[in-house]
Amino acid sequence: MTDPAEAAAGVPIAGPAVPNVYEAQVRWSDADIMGHVNHARYLSFFEDARMTLLATSPAGLAGVRGSRGYIAARVAVDYLWAAEFRPGLMLRVETMVTRVGSTSWTFDQRMYDGDHYVARCECVLVGYSYDDGKTRSLAADERDFWHQYLMPESR
Amino acid sequence: MRYVYECPVRWSDLDAFGHVNNARFLTLFEEARVALMFVGAKESGLTSFEEGIVIYRHEVDYLRPVDYGPVVRIEMWISEMRASRFTVSYELFDGGKLASRAASVCVPFDLATQRPRRLSSAERAFLKPWSE
């Protein structure tokens, strides 16, 4: 029988690996002169999807009192299709995890306009103590949390 | 009658104080206008606002800071209608508390001639129920 205390101490949870889904509301001011959603704004949509998920994580939102901090080390975006702006447009962001390390973890995020696969984002976040000004190790509950979103092929 | 719009707040709307930056309030109010005058109007068969409208004046009073949260509630109404311009007034609520009052004067604009134009009767009829 598994000791619950041992389970809580960092044995990865094999969750259903269902992506977290976030609906990004596109603003009028996100459109560029070409009538496309400006490519730089995509980073904000991916960020909002991550922040919404991070708010529910054991670390909470970075910068909020009592939170365990983290900081972005890498963001890479591939643009696959130009989303055409129209008022009321929502873009769906699916967020999963491809790696959970001892001090950092990696997100794989995919953005869709209906059936169109618009963009993909890879983002590495590093545990970071804002008090000490340096990297920190991820706690067992944080690693467990992110394991729930680990893509099956990454396990 | 007031038009009510729940506007999502972005992480990047926050400034170093942890508040929604004062300049972003204009973007949030803009989203409420777009929802009524572009999305809502189109559903009623009116697309002329979407074809060109410009801002003549904005005024914003900041009553309390707005923190990060999923949405703010914007209540909006038409407070004045003239031949070639109208004023939209807003109240913005964060967690049920009034955080800002604002108003924008909007002018229908012909993008082809780059000239302001008068409100059409269809536009006046669309805006009328939202007048206070």
Task: Provide the pLDDT confidence category of residue A15 given band limits of 50, 70 and 90.
Answer: low
pLDDT attached to residue A4: 44
- A49 chain-B contacts, CB cut-off 8 A: none
How much of chain A is in helix, strand and coil states, percent to nearest 5?
25, 35, 40
Return the pLDDT at A14: 54
pLDDT tens profile A38-83: 999 999 999 999 999 999 999 998 877 667 899 999 999 999 999 9
Per the CB < 8 Å rule, is A44 touching B18? no
pLDDT at A95 over 90: yes
Please give the pLDDT value at position A7.
Answer: 44
pLDDT band at A18 (very low <50, low <70, confident <90, very high): confident
Say how far apart CA A101 and CA A104 lie, in whole Å: 5
A54 contacts A61 by C-beta, under 8 angstroms: yes
- pTM recorded for the entire structure: 0.88
Measure B33 CA to nearest chain A CA, in Å: 10
Q: What percentage of chain B's residues is helix, strand, coil (to nearest 5)? A: 25, 40, 35
Q: Where are the beta strands (DSSP E) in chain A?
A: 20-25, 70-79, 90-100, 104-113, 116-129, 134-135
A47–B12 C-beta distance less than 8 A: yes
Q: Which carries the bigger pLDDT value, residue B121 or residue A152?
A: B121
Residue A153 pLDDT: 79
DSSP A37: B
Name the nearest CA neighbour of B57 among B38, B41, B80.
Answer: B80
For a pLDDT cut of 70, what percent of chain A falls above it?
88
Q: What is the pLDDT of residue B70?
A: 86
> Taking CB atoms and an 8 Å cutoff, what residues of chain B touch A25?
8, 31
Residue A9 has pLDDT above 60, yes or no: no
Cβ proximity of B77 and B1 under 8 Å: yes
Nearest by Cα to A39 from A75, A76, A72, A79: A79
Parts of chain B with a pLDDT under 70: none
Residue B125: partners with Cβ closer than 8 Å, 6 or more residues away: none
pLDDT of residue A128: 93
pLDDT tens sequence across B24-36: 999 999 999 999 9
